[in-house]
Amino acid sequence: MSNVLTDTYGIAAALEQLGIREMNYGASTGVQNWITSGPRIDSYSPADGQLIGSVNQATADDYEKVMKAAEAAFPVWRMMPAPKRGEIVRQMGDELRSHKEALGKLVSYEMGKSLQEGLGEVQEMIDICDFAVGLSRQLYGLTMHSERPRHRMYEQWHPLGIVGIISAFNFPVAVWSWNSMIAWVCGDVCVWKPSSKTPLCAVACQNIITGVLRRNNVPEGVSGLLIGNPVGDLMNNDKRVPLISFTGSTRIGRIVAGATAQRFARSILELGGNNAIIVSQHADLNMVLVGSVFGAVGTAGQRCTTTRRLIVHESIYDKTLSVLKNAYGQLKIGNPLDSANHVGPLIDKKAVEDYLNAIAKAKTEGGKEVVEGGVLSGEGYESGCYVKPCIIEAKNEFHIVQEETFAPILYVMKYSTIEEAIAMQNGVPQGLSSSIFTTNMREMETFLSHEGSDCGIANVNIGTSGAEIGGAFGGEKETGGGRESGSDAWKVYMRRQTNTINYSTTLPLAQGIQFNF
């Protein structure tokens, strides 16, 4: 491939380094890759509309090959000492470091986020590798005191088996690593179905780690890759997969939850967000400006943690709106590989259609555009995926405000008391991320208390987006309740076992029960 954009920003060279050619494989078992026979999936860049490359969708036969390889690999992989598994993950982190620039460019070009964000996403992968390496020596259980003499009780953790990872286009590589690196040090094997909108990022990741797998004689099947939407249904209903980690819409999340519950499997669900920032009269408006603008327009509003609602105290509402309007007037929209631009494109024209429909619905319900949206056209916008971030005065109860629209639309509204603001923040079906900007300690503590935010993430004086890997990531209500990445999220990838050892010469029963012969 060759065009002005790829030649100017080194995309062609990056693709070459990552092993992305004109035709790529649609299935992999980590060591062996093959071109599948399913329908072709073409990946076009939303940055310039150019074809980047193609893959063939995996078939049911391809699925079986990958799953059988994973089944065979698991008994071998789980017996490798956890620190050794951690050492292999460490090497993967080193490979990601050496490919950071190339992979970051591909993420930016295939998904449309800014290059800075693309590089940041790869850095998240490196960071979770480092976290997983340390974790490999800290898979701790507990010891408990038995009520029976000369008995010892403890609990330990065992790997689950095959972990199915279904990821979304907006973080085409990081979410896979959040799951896979942790699952691998826990002793699980992984099968990944990436978004069909960003398949080449997944192929690149598999290419990057393949050398590590081979050098360490890792069994084929520890890292599986299957591309194509039909694979998701097969995985969801497969009794061989005890855990599905799904990132995507609430609508599809319900399907995943139902399928896994039907067979008593586990699921990690990272679904929709409808995140709000409360702006107190005690807020530092300079901090509000940075947090809310980046939160609303970063990744063109295509983060699950994107700021979608701004709940502003009535005494500073007009001033806050004026500051925001001025900032939005300075936003630069264009090629995401150009560091001078703040906002890149939406992922595709369907996303543009959803953006326009949401604005129209908000107006129908009584909303007022204070910063007008619209689709950009002309030189530099040939892909048809570039839109203007907009601000709409709205009410929390509007139907469209209750929904998540994956686009840079910010709804603003007023409040009078902190209790009213928290009620508005909590008054949506989703419960992922939340934030308050205030210098008032009572407001901070109220927001973080039992009567405060009902979200899985609650921040003070930072925005709703930009979670660190050290904390468990996830939300409540229709966000799904899942947790992945840091803290003790590793426990969901393992099964807990309670053990009791009797080292006496008798067999006393628990609770003093007598059963003598």
Q: Residue 512 is encoded by which pair of tokens?
A: 């003093």
Residues assigned a catalytic role: 270, 304
3 state SS for 389-420: CEEEECCCCCCCCCCCCCCCEEEEEEECCHHH
- Cβ partners under 8 Å of residue 435, min gap 6: 275, 276, 277, 278, 291, 295, 307, 458, 459, 460, 461, 462, 463, 464
Q: Residue 340 is encoded by which pair of tokens?
A: 């001078």
| Gyration radius from the chain CA atoms | 25
- Cβ partners under 8 Å of residue 122, min gap 6: 96, 99, 100, 103, 104, 107, 173, 174
Residue 345 and residue 334 in contact, taking contact as beta carbons nearer than 8 Å: no
Q: What is the DSSP letter of 130?
A: H
Place of tokens 């910063």: 371
Q: Which of 25, 29, 50, 32 is nearest to 227 (CA)?
A: 25
Q: Which of 224, 228, 220, 229 is nearest to 241 (CA)?
A: 224
C-alpha distances out from residue 364 to 309, 354, 357, 491, Å: 18, 15, 10, 47
C-alpha 278/C-alpha 285 separation (Å) is 12
Q: Which of 337, 322, 254, 274 is nearest to 464 (CA)?
A: 274
C-alpha 411/C-alpha 390 separation (Å) is 9
